[in-house]
Amino acid sequence: MSDTSERPIRVRMAPSPTGPLHIGTARTSLYNFLFARHHGGTYVLRIEDTDLARSTVEQEQDIIDNLHWLGITWDEGPQVARGDDIGPFAPYRQSMRLDLYAAEAARLLESGAAYHCWCTPEELDAVRREQESKKEAPRYNGRCLRLTDADRAQFEAEGRRPAIRFRVPPETIRFDDLIRGEVEFDNRLLGDFVIVRADGSPLYHFVVVIDDEKMAITHVIRGEDHLSNTPKHIALIESLGYRQPRFGHIPLILNADRSKMSKRKSQTAITAYREQGYLPEALVNFLAFLGWSPGTEEEIFTLDELGQRFDLSHVHKAGAVFDADRLDYLNGVYIRSLTDEQLALRLRPFLPETLDDEGVLRVTPLIKERLVRLADATELTAFLVESDEQVAALYGADALVPKGRTPADAARALAIARDVLTQLADGDFAADVLEGRCRAVAEGLGWKPGDFFRPLRAAVTGRSVSPPLFGSMELLGRDRVLARIDAALGKVSAEAQVT
RNA sequence: GCCCCCAUCGUCUAGAGGCCUAGGACGCCACCCUUUCAAGGUGGAGAUCACCGGUUCGAAUCCGGUUGGGGGCACCA
């Protein structure tokens, strides 16, 4: 039945621009991409924009941009939204292939495999509700199949436009799924479904089958949510006289409650992850392992390595919960694996423009180990761009007083630190020198270093948690550090007066 | 309701009849390192392999059933 063995391997991803690139679509795209890479096949991108009402160019652009961002590239298909399509089967946008679908619909009509249906949405709705109330399967009752010529003439006269329904052959469909093995389905349970709307636009189940044939797709790798739709597609393939591709249904990505991952319960837009500073390498690595593993205990892979290792036989059957904690961990791993120069480049968009490139490169090593997402850099480096007044407003006098000490003690400590730092030459205002001097101050005071560093950190950064203190001070520069210590001194002195 | 698919630590997974008194990773806990937070190191808790029956000398692995979960049944894709 299927003749894929002799045909060169061709797979496709078929996103619908009815929303931004979805995590699930990205993962399905990745699996197709890896499959093509692994077998030296051709990878096609086809835009499924038959739902004109919900499709937009912006969303198409989002899909293309983010696929590129992930490193997923295709051999055929649109390279940019509304741009020129590349490949022998162009165009690759369904909205530009309408004549083809119309011709195939006409063929089906002519052979009697499809028929016109004049039922209105309201009528269909009424039938469906009645079936549901009687606990019957909600499917088309075949009314328009039994119409007389007079009935048809009557509808025409009323100005009603017919949709086209596929007459589902009463047969049992069997196919050998690449991932699930033998699957059997009785198509008698199916109602005749609409393949062309009353307005003449074709529907998904119809166009997907036509395009997969015309684009010579040999392997259809898609989400498990399409498993139950496959018998429809096979019936259509047979009626149209097409070659049957191999089907492989990959497990779904799930919300924490194990339902199909949705916008409602999870963050599903790739753009959102990108904006938060997830690295495409991390996302790809993470997504690849949602439903697949190389069969070993290795778990960090580049896209190229995944292409070498990926095979359908190791794809799981059960759905996989999207574990954000694990993604965070992987993102950290990838961030830390970058050189400072590489990281600085990626950090640039997440840091204020007032920080110059030199500044970005200098903070990078200070925050590298602390980043889960690139966007975390904003908060981690805020103390650098905030004014001395803003920093001072972030903490109270109590943050300057170590346990067991009085505000007066704290004031004395800060005053000493101020003097010591003032004496430092500009060239000596460096992390290691600063640390040495500050330790000496603590020692002279008879304080534990930590008890002295804590207030100093509050004064300098306004926070109890910050990048390494002395590196931060070096970056800030002597003048600003001294100004902040002065502000702290004012605060704690006022406190000392009160008490 | 009907049909289809699925089932190993909380999560992602290793496992393809004896290598499994079930391995790794994330998360969690403890300790170490340490100027905070991280990162790193070490150790720990955590799965009677959903349940019941069968096949077999032997089953997490094969078969059947049960239960549970998910998906599909649109003039959405």
CA-CA-CA-CA torsion for A276, A49, A90, A58, nearest 10 degrees?
Answer: -40
Q: Is A214 a catalytic residue?
A: no
Q: How far is the CA of A370 from the C1' of B45 (A)?
A: 27
Does the nearest atom of strand B lie within 7 Å of A127's Cβ?
A: no
Closest nucleotide to A186's CA, by C1' atom?
B3
Q: Which nucleotides of B are covered by protein (CB under 7 A)?
A: 1-8, 10-16, 23-27, 35-40, 69-77
Residues with Cβ within 8 Å of A241's Cβ and at least 6 positions away in sequence, in order, are none
Residues in A 279-298 whose C-beta is less than 7 A from nucleic strand B are 289-293, 295-297
- Say if residue A2's pLDDT is above 50: no
Does the nearest atom of strand B lie within 7 Å of A120's Cβ?
A: yes
Query: What are A383-436's pLDDT values in tens digits?
Result: 999 999 999 999 999 999 998 899 999 999 999 999 999 999 888 899 999 999
Percent of chain A with pLDDT over 70: 98
Among all protein residues, pick the one whose CA is nearest to the C1' atom of B75.
Answer: A197
Does the nearest atom of strand B lie within 7 Å of A19's Cβ?
A: no
Does the nearest atom of strand B lie within 7 Å of A432's Cβ?
A: no
Taking the CA atoms of A321, A324, A329 and A334 in sequence, report the sign of the dihedral they define.
positive
Interface predicted TM-score (ipTM): 0.96
Mean pLDDT for the stretch of residues A315-338: 97
Does the nearest atom of strand B lie within 7 Å of A454's Cβ?
A: yes
Q: Sorting pLDDT into bands at 50, 70 and 90, what band is A277?
A: very high
Does the nearest atom of strand B lie within 7 Å of A311's Cβ?
A: no
Mean pLDDT for the stretch of residues A445-456: 94
**How far is A438 from A107, CA to CA, in rounded Å?**
86
Residues in A 328-357 whose C-beta is less than 7 A from nucleic strand B are 328-329, 332-333, 336
Predicted confidence at residue A498, as pLDDT, reads: 64
Predicted confidence at residue A499, as pLDDT, reads: 54
Q: How far is the CA of A114 from the C1' of B10 (A)?
A: 51
Among all protein residues, pick the one whose CA is nearest to the C1' atom of B7.
Answer: A318
pTM of the model: 0.94
Query: What are A77-122's pLDDT values in tens digits?
Result: 998 766 678 899 999 999 999 999 999 999 999 999 999 999 998 8
Cα-Cα end-to-end distance for chain A:
91
Predicted confidence at residue A83, as pLDDT, reads: 67
Does the nearest atom of strand B lie within 7 Å of A453's Cβ?
A: yes
Among all protein residues, pick the one whose CA is nearest to the C1' atom of B11.
Answer: A323
Q: What is the mean pLDDT of chain A?
A: 94
Q: How far is the CA of A370 from the C1' of B31 (A)?
A: 22
Does the nearest atom of strand B lie within 7 Å of A234's Cβ?
A: no
Query: What are A184-229's pLDDT values in tens digits?
Result: 999 999 999 999 999 999 999 999 999 999 999 999 999 999 999 9
Predicted confidence at residue A135, as pLDDT, reads: 77
Predicted confidence at residue A316, as pLDDT, reads: 95
Looking at A263, A265, A403, A491, which residue is catalytic? A263
Predicted confidence at residue A468, as pLDDT, reads: 97
